[in-house]
Each structure stands twice: as C-alpha cells, then as structure tokens.
Amino acid sequence: MMSVMLIVGIGFSLIGLLLAWILLDPEEEPEETPGRISPALEGNPEETFLAFASQAWGLETGPDPIEERLQGVQRWLRERLAGLRDLERRITRGLRRRLAEADLPWHPLEWMGLTMGLAALGAWAGLQIYRLPGFVLLGALAGGALPFLLLHHRRDVRRRRLEVQLADALFLIAGVLRAGGSMVRAIEEVAVRLPSPIADEFRRVLIEVRLGFSLAEALEHMRARVPSEDLSLAITAIQIHQQVGGNLSEFVERVASRIQERVHLQNEIRVMTASYRLSAQILTVLPLFLWLVLFPLNRRYMMRFFTSGLPGYAMLGLILLMVLLGLLMVRRMMRVSL
C-alpha cells in the first residue's frame, strides 16, 4: 500500500512539474549581434575559442534534436491548453447570459459547482438504490440536468411575465413622449412606476445610458438579455422609426396595441389547453416513474428486462419510443400558430 501511494505521489509530482514547465513562459534571450561573443561563453576558454572559430570560418553548430522535440511538444501542449481556455470562455459567457435571462444572481462557477454536486448525488443514489452501472450514469445525468431544467423554467416564467407587462410599458412610454418628454425620460418613468421584471430591465438600460452607452446600444443589450419576440419587435420598431422619423408616440402606442392583442390571445390559448398539457405531462412521467419505483420494490421481476437478452432491451426501447411519440402527438395537437 505504501509503495502504491509513493508511486502515485511521484506521478502527480511529475505531472505538476510538467504543467509548471508548460505554463511558465521562458524568458526571451537577448539577441546577439554578429561578431560579438555571448557573455555566457566568456568564462569558458574552450567554448569561447569554438565560438570564435565558428564565427570566423562560417561554421554553425547544429541544434540539439532532443531539445527541438521537447520544444515541439511544449508548443503543442500550449496550443491545446489555449483551445481549452477558449472553450471555457465560451461556456462561461453562454451560461452567464442564461443566468442573466433568468435573473439569477449566480456566478457561472457557482452554478457549475451546483451541477456537479447534484450529478454526484444522482450517481450515488443510482448506485445505492438500483446497484447497476447504467443507473449510475442515468442518475448522474438526471442530477446534472436538474439545475438547467430549473433555469429554463425560471427563464420562461420571467419571459412570460415581461411580455404581459410590455404593453403597459409601451403605453407609458407613448404617454411621456406625447407630453413632450424624451425617450430617456420615458424609460425613467417605466423603471419607477412599473413592477418587476419589466422595471428591472429598463432600469438596466437607464444605467447603461448613464455610463456612456448610446440608447440604441442599451436597447440591443436588453434584446440580448431577454429572449422575447414581442420585445425584439418593439425595439426594432422604435429603432426604425427613430431613423425614419415621424410621430414616435403614436407609433409606439400602435405597437403596444398589437402586442397587447397578441398576449391576450396567447393567454386564452394557454387557458384552453391547460388541462390537455397537464394530461400530456402526467401520461409522459407516469410510466417512467412507476418503472423506477417498481425496480427497488421487486428487483427480481424488473431485472428480466436486462437478463432476458435482446427481447428485454427491445421492450425497453419500445416503451420509451411509445412514450415519446405520445408526448409529441399531444404537443402537436395543442400547438396553435399565431
């Protein structure tokens, strides 16, 4: 046991030294002018004579092939590490945008730590309850997907609330513009009078304008934060009308009326299809839930799906296929194009 721990420790030490050697950039050596002997060779008479002779007779000593190979490996590893850093930046940027859309004050590293912790908890639950390697992987995937499902749900709920409040915000902006105020003054009124989340988004626009961004840039940032078609339509209409000119208050009020009618129709459709959507969700989750509950209760019976060979796995695939087809058919029947 001690020898194994010693070997593992030596291995990690070598890996750490290799990473330190890769990450630490070597200092650039000063360029040597022709005809001048390097200061590192002045203390050694033999190397000084060889250097002088090679410079005088035009001879050059060949580079060390081992050193060239090591430098090539070092360059390759640095390129791979640079690619990993770029991938990490893209993932962090996308996750930060999703958290901003859901209005969650979390750092991306904190969110990834929560995801990894829930994935480990799901893997442990799969190992302790079902005692099968496949369920360990399924538990880890389910635990890791749970935070992102909650993030997606919170993002959709906030988007729907914002779309409901968007028409009131546009009517308020149109009233301020009709009274002779500017667009910045109208945004201030929306940020003060209306509730969250629409007030929070316009407050961010106001802060960006005060920090030096133009109004068009601040509105584009709000468009990137809020994945709403209605908001994108309103921002595009305002930007086009500012370029073309005309009565902006009347134009904003007209856009607000169209958005209000569209949101009202969407709410009616959601109310009429609420029972069908709930039925589709129950019918989708119920077979999987019963299968997972019956497995620890009657393990010998449920193991026949895995011990009977190809027929058992074919039955599992058929169950999943039928559940997914039923869910897709119900969702397709409830979909209404506006």
- DSSP code at position 36: -
Please compute the mean of the pLDDT values over residues 291-309 and round it to a whole number: 83
Distance between start and end Cα atoms, the chain: 69
Its pTM stands at: 0.66
DSSP string, 244-300: H-S-HHHHHHHHHHHHHHHHHHHHHHHHHTHHHHHHHHHHHHHHHHHHHHHHHHSHH
- Distance, CA of 50 to CA of 61 (rounded, Å): 10
Extract the tokens encoding 301: 């019976």
Query: CB of 19 within 8 A of CB of 71?
Result: no
pLDDT in tens, 138-190: 888 888 899 998 998 898 888 888 888 988 999 998 898 888 888 888 889 99
Q: Which residues 6+ apart lie within 8 Å of 224 measured at CB? A: 97
Extract the tokens encoding 257: 């009326």
Domain covering 158-260 in this structure, CATH number: 1.20.81
- Distance, CA of 114 to CA of 108 (rounded, Å): 10
Highest mean pLDDT among 30-44, 125-139, 196-210, 315-329: 196-210
- Distance, CA of 72 to CA of 67 (rounded, Å): 9
CA dihedral 227, 229, 231, 233 (to 10 degrees): 140
How would you classify residue 189: left for phi > 0, otherwise alpha for psi between -120 and 50, otherwise beta?
alpha
pLDDT in tens, 25-70: 444 444 444 444 444 444 555 555 555 555 555 444 455 567 777 7
